[in-house]
Structure formats: C-alpha cells, structure tokens
Chain A
Amino acid sequence: MTMPNERRFPESATMLRFEDVTRRYGDVVALGGVSCEVLEGSFVALVGASGSGKSTLLKMVNTLAEPSGGRVLFGGDDVTNLEQSRLRRRVGYVFQGIGLFPHFSVGENIAIGPRLDGERLSSGRIGELLELVELEPEMAGRMPDELSGGQRQRVGVARALANGPELLLMDEPFGALDPITRDALGERVRKLHEQLGLTTIMVTHDMAEALLLADRVLVMDAGLLVADCTPQQLLAGKGGVIAQELVAVPRQQAERLAKMERAHA
C-alpha cells in the first residue's frame, strides 16, 4: 500500500464540481441551486448558520444525501452513477457524532474501511494512523467507551484516513469538543491535510475556525452560496453582508479580549 502523502496533484485540477444542485424536502427548500468547484489539494470551509444547507451540500458528495436537481461530479463522474459503497471508501468522512463502532476495538474501528475491501490492515499501519492523530499505538486494543471525547474524535479522523482517501469530508467534526482539544485537533487536521496531500471540505458554524484552518471559505445562507472568498479577502471586508456578519463575531471577540488585556496591563 502506498502512503497517501506520496501523491501529488497538478495544481489546477478540479476534484469536485457542484452543478446547480438543489434539494427540497416537500415544500421546504434546503438547497436552492448551488454551483461551485473544489480544486485538488485545497482546504475548503463551508460556513453558515444552522439550516443554511451546508451539511446537506457536504453529504451530497458521498451520497448520504441525494440532490433533487442538478448534479455533483467527483473526478468528472456524477456521484449518483458511481457504486455507492466504493465511492464512500474513496472519501474519508468525519462527523460530529463520531460514530465509533462500540463493539469494535480502536484498532478494529480504524481498520474497518480496508476490511470492507477484504484487506487486513497491519498493526504497524494502525499504529502509524494513531500516531498521525497524536495517539499512542498501544491504544489500538482499547474499546471506544474507555476513551475521552477528544480521543474518540482523533480515532474518528484516523478511521477516515485509513483507506488513503483522495477527499476528506468533515461535518462539524469538532463541534462537541472542549475548546483546547478542539483547537489542537484542528491544527492537527490542517497539518495532515498538507502532509498527506488531501483535498478537505469542512462544515462548521464557527467562522474563526474556518478563517484559521481553510484556504477558501464558502458562506451559505438559506440554501444559497452567498460568498466564496479566501480568509484574507473576508478579513479585508469582502464577501458581502452575511459573510461580514459572521466574520464580525470572532473579530469583535478578539478586539474585546485585546481591550481587556490593555486595560489590565
């Protein structure tokens, strides 16, 4: 098995293309026609309030949600034409619920993807994956209920990487974690993204997290894409009203903290 970080993508290749994707649940419009492209090797954050459609858009990539209209192309193929289970094994998926299998050990959880393809992951490889997420290789023998929340999500990330995926999808991956763990794990994932040459899409409602980790931020509101900027552009006041409202929150928090520091200094 080749290490994923040996892969190198041509800078400009398109990995993912959304073409006028819509999703309706009865009369409710969850997605009202979204079009955009994700380039290979990029780290994209999908930001928006609850119910803005960001999770639905993400889940359309690995067909956990299906579009009512439009299509999603992965490497040029419509995802609904690809064999579902094979597609999902090419795409790493991390989500807030984590969903470690409680009857499998940590090692078995990590090895599940390759196992579905009839491959046995060596304990050495499991150890490597644990080290990637800064856990001890010895942890492989433990059961999920013996781990802390942060440790569990690290295992969740390791499991998503075990198949050597081309694409990593993360749906509010750190939402349930305490701020310190959350920060550390965010940093770690960004490093892994670079080290392994991944393409990453992360859904979050936290604009600060998006600005700090991503190369590109997509802002969604009421099922529509309302801004598509780099963090620098957003900080420079671009992206429109809704994007700027979201940017204002961490900025004001940072300014208030800085003011308090000055007052006490």
Chain B
Amino acid sequence: MSGFWEILLGLGDKLAAHIVLAASAIGLGIAVALPLAVWASRSQPVARLALGFASLVQTIPALALLALFFPILLSLRVVFGEDLPTLGFLPALLALALYALLPILRNAVTAQANLDPGVLEAADGVGMTGWQKLALVEAPLSAPFVMAGIRTASVWTIGAATLATTIGQPSLGDPIFAGLQTQNWALVLAGCFASAALALVADALLGLIERGLIKRKRLQWAGGMVAVALGIAAALTYQAAGDDEDAIVIASKQFSEQYILAQLIGSRLEAAGYRVEYRDGLGSAVVHSAVASGSIDISVDYTGTIWTNEMKRTDQVGREEMYQEIKAWDMRENGVLVLGRLGFENAYAFAMREDRSAELGVTSLEDLVPVAPQLTVGGDPEFFERPEWIAVRDAYGMRFRETRNFSPTFMYNALRSGEADVISAYTSDGRIAADRLVVLADPREALPSYDAMLMLSPRIADDRTLIAALEPLIGAIDVEAMREANYAVDREGEGKLSPEDAAAELAKKIGL
C-alpha cells in the first residue's frame, strides 16, 4: 500500500474533473426532471411514460449506457456536424444525466401527488394563476422530497461517474481502472477512497439542505447551497487552470501494454516539445472511432482488431497484406494515418498451465477439441463475442463445458487457481513466460495476426515534427522487449514497476 497518500494527493485534477462531470450531470438531470415532473403532475399519461422511461434507463448497466452514447452521438453528427464530440465529457454527461433522472423524477412526481388537495383548492380559491400556484405552493411544499431525490441521484452519479473513464472522460475512475489493470492496489484504493469521500461530502451537504427545507430554516438550506456552489466553482477553477486545447491526446485501452506504450509515446512527444494528455482505460471498441473522429490523437491498435471489428472482414489474408490493406483503408475512409508497425504482435492465443497441458496431452487446439467438453475456458470480457473466438469455434468445432469472463489480469489468476483450464492469452503478455504457460498451436490458422500499429488522427497526420518524434518507435519493439515490460507492470512484489517506469526501461532497452 506504499504511496497511497501521495497518490491521493496527486488526484486533484481527476477529482476536479469528477466533480464538474457529476455536478453537470445532476444539474442537467434536475433541469429535465423538474419540468417533466410538473407536466407529469398535470397529465397521467405523461407521468406513466416519463416514469416508465426513467425506470427503463435505470435497468441498463451504467457501463453499457455510457458506451451506447458513442454510436448515438456518432449518428447525430449527420445533424450537428463533424464537431460534435462523441467521446469524453458530452456522452458521459448525457448518460449520467439520464441515470440521475429517475430518483429526482420519481420523488418529484410522488411529492406532487401527495400534496394536500385542500391546500391546492385553497390556492385556486384565493385566485392564484397556474404559475403562482407552482411557485408559491407546489414547489416549496415539494422541495424537501425533491431534495431527497436529488440527494439519492447525487450519490449514484458520483459513483457511476468513475465509469466515465472507459469513454475517455477523465474522472476518479482513471486511477481505479489503471490500478485494476496493473494490479496497483494503492491506485485502486486511492480512487475508490476519493470517490467515496466525495459522495459522502455531497450527501452530507445535500442532507443539510434537505433538513433546512423540511424545517423551513432559510439559513440552513441557503448555507448548504452556497457550500455546494463553492465546491463546484473550486473544481471549475482548478480544471480551467489545467485545461489545454492544443495538447496531444494519447489513448490507452484497459491493459498494461497500452498504458506502457502510451507513456512511451508521451515521453517522446514531451521531449519533442509537445504537451500531452492521457486518456487511460478506454473501452477497446471505441478507441478506433475516437481516433478517426479526432477526440483522441494517438492510439496503438492491432491489425486483427481493425480487420475484423472495423473493416468487418472475415477472410484470411497474409500478415503483410493485411497490414497494407488496413493502412490504405484507414487513410481512405477515415483520414487516419497508420504510421507503422511497432514490431511485435499481441495476438489472441489459447494458453494452459504446463502441468495441465502435460496431464491432458494437449499442445495444440486440435488436441484440445476432444477434451474441451470437460474443461472451463476463461476469456476477457469481450472475447466470446469476438470473431476470433467464433473462428476458432467453427474451424475446430470447439465446445467447452463452461465459458467464463475475467478482466485480463484476473484471467491469469484464474488459470493459476484452476478456476479456468484454458484462457485466451495475449502473445505479448509477460505472464506467459513468467507463469511458464503453454501457448497452444493453431494448425488451422483460425486466429488472425495482431501486429501492433501506431495510429494518428487526421488532425496530426500532417505534423512532420510529431511524426519525426515517433518514427524511431516503428519496428523497434520486439515481442521479448514488450513481454518484459508488460511483466514488470503486471507482476507483484519486488521489481513491480509503474507503467511510466516500465516505459522508461523499455525506451532504454530499445536504444532510445
């Protein structure tokens, strides 16, 4: 747990981003929910529809809701033009605001429905107009209940905002996701601690406002509101101070290799005089579109991923031909410059423990077929949906007793503990060598190649200086060097490195 406090103190910018995001989402949620609640209180069908919709949204897992906004916003570019951001703040804001809708809406509608009918008749009887009735009677009498809803929504939103990391919006989820991938528990703990503390503080302040409204103590609720406003203002100021429009944004997906390479690229650009921002822990599926749309400037992607996921190709071509086709396709279709291959492959491969492999006599996928019905296979969360798995399954007629999903890091632990007999490993993974795993041969060549490529967004595709700074990386990283760096980050105990340090080691090793 070394460095917990240092990490915590270094989270200022993530905290500020988290506060701004959560506050904006709750603010938007309130701005939508309150008028909707007023409308719902005057129309039964609207009430049913609004509450039904909000409840439906609530059943979508927050992670999925966040990811869903990427294709939605992408399709909305037809209407709003190419400048509409598809990743980062906007989709995170919209998804979280939708999420915040239900508790606010439900409490507001319930409060309206439970207003004393005598009081409402009196409001009409003394000659209030609709607006006066709303402002003088309905709103103040509903306020404590509405506030309770806002309080619930705030705690939810602050928690769910950590997931915004996966769509490229900085938040307190950054240290959590980075820590989970690199098994840096101090980082995970610091992120969780900060977000929990933020939720508790918000809850306490909003509770103060709520009680002030119930007891009709103006000083108390106004004071609480001022405190909340000051907190948001402080976060905005902090964020504005650190904001940087021209910085080069480097993406990384949710595994160690990506963190290391992002740091390696970043350090080279910084040395060349560029300002750099990192978007860590992005979902694999959104990274390519993010580069194409320019919300990310640089990513490292893999030929097999682009071939199957982006180009929707299922045919098998040679390794070199695949790369050339991707390079041409990406420039033609998206204006994305594939600068080159880094020199190693991170392909999917099936791996087993050495003792299990010997025991079952399995060294290739062909050997695996007869015993697979007794075995459990572990894969990363997307693997069993991926064309690679489908290709292997169909090419070999592979059927396992059970398929289980693990985050990449826990997949190796599962293999070690026997919870999985076979896993979908990655060829550049340092743990293959460290755990002395047997990588099963693929005689029918069902698995495509996965050369790591450096991708540049259209915005920087013509930047000669930047390209000159990155060109030395092309063809410079062999699979052993990458495995070693990956293992340094993934391992536990002595010799464990942060991605930044591992990137520095890697740079030294490849002579940069």
Contacts and interface: CB of A to CB of B under 8 A. Distances in A.
Interface in A68-85: 84-85
Nearest to A89: B127
A102 B119 contact: yes
Contact of A101 (B117, B129, B137): B137
Contacts of B125: 62, 64, 88, 93, 95, 99
Contacts of B118: 95, 97-99
B128 interface: yes
Interface in B93-145: 116-129, 132, 136-137, 140-141
B127 A88 contact: yes
A103 interface: yes
Contacts of A102: 116, 119, 141
B127 A85 contact: yes
Contacts of A112: 126, 136
A103 B140 CA distance: 8
B362 to A, nearest CB: 75
A119 B435 CA distance: 84
A116 B123 CA distance: 11
A22 B271 CA distance: 88
B386 interface: no
Nearest to B121: A99
Contacts of A100: 119, 122
A113 B127 contact: yes
B128 A85 contact: yes
Chain B interface mostly helix, strand, loop or mixed? helix
B31 to A, nearest CB: 24
Contact of A97 (B121, B128, B216): B121
Contacts of B116: 97, 99, 102
Interface in A179-236: none
Contacts of B126: 88-89, 93, 112-113, 116, 159
Nearest to B132: A116
Contacts of A116: 126-128, 132
A63 to B, nearest CB: 9
Nearest to A156: B122
Nearest to A64: B124
Interface string A96-118: 01111111000000001100100
With most chain B CB atoms within 10 A of its CB, the pick from A84, A86, A95, A97 is: A97
Given A88-B126, A112-B136, 11 more contacts: A62-B125, A84-B127, A89-B126, A89-B127, A97-B118, A97-B121, A98-B122, A99-B120, A102-B116, A113-B127, A116-B127
19 contacts: A84-B127, A85-B129, A85-B132, A86-B127, A88-B126, A89-B126, A89-B127, A95-B118, A97-B116, A97-B117, A98-B122, A99-B120, A101-B119, A101-B137, A102-B116, A103-B140, A103-B141, A112-B126, A116-B127
